Amino acid sequence: MTEQTTSTPDGVDNSKQPGFRIQRIYLKDLSLEQPNAPQILLVAAEPQVEVDVDVAVNRLSDEIFEVALVSTVTAKVEGKVLFLVEAKQAGIFEFNHIPPEQIDPMLGIACPTILYPYLRSNIADTISRAGFQPIHLNEINFHGMYEHRIMQAAQAAAPESDSADESKIILPH
């Protein structure tokens, strides 16, 4: 039998190695409303569905962040709300020794990409439990969403600044 050791080669310090870790994924908030039930349930028409998804970031410590996907799904029939689902799927993520310029894209792209399947599942399950056909949210390009935010931040900063400095988005903390 061989013995395995966890020692590192001389001169290598694992305490300074970059690392990314998911500490926890959880459903932070979920609500379902059917404000016009039961009358609206008798209307035989195809519902119009609106979906909003946003990313919120909260710094918990120097290396730990909470990232939340905030979503609202509204289904309307003949202009009246059939149902409204609001959900907040969150996760706690730890970044060890990762350069600051790499953390923002990870918070805006990688973390939401990890959380999104959980959000989709919870919304579809909630709608199904309410007695409707589940709505499966389409895939989201979080990279495109992040780039769009960077452009918006640059445009918002342009009139205020005469310098040619490159603008960088900082997600809300």
**Residue 127 resides in a domain:** yes
Taking only the tens place, the pLDDT of each residue in 46-76 is 999 999 999 999 999 999 999 999 999 999 9
- Tell me whether residue 158 is in a domain: no
* 172 located within any domain: no
Residue 30 lies in a domain: yes
Report yes or no on 156 lying in a domain. no
Q: Is the pLDDT of residue 11 over 90?
A: no
The boundaries of the domain holding residue 101 are 18-150
Residue 157 counted as domain residue: no
The mean pLDDT value of the chain amounts to 86
9 lies in some domain: no
- Number of domain units in the chain: 1
Residue 87 sits in a domain whose CATH number is: 3.10.420.10
3-state secondary structure string across the chain: CCCCCCCCCCCCCHHHCCEEEEEEEEEEEEEEECCCCCHHHHCCCCCEEEEEEEEEEEECCCCEEEEEEEEEEEEEECCEEEEEEEEEEEEEEEEECCCHHHHHHHHHHHHHHHHHHHHHHHHHHHHHHCCCCCCCCCCCCHHHHHHHHHHHHHHHHCCCCCCCCCCCCCCCC
The predicted model scores a pTM of 0.79
Tens of pLDDT, residue by residue over 22-35, are: 999 999 999 999 99
The answer as to whether 126 is a domain residue is: yes
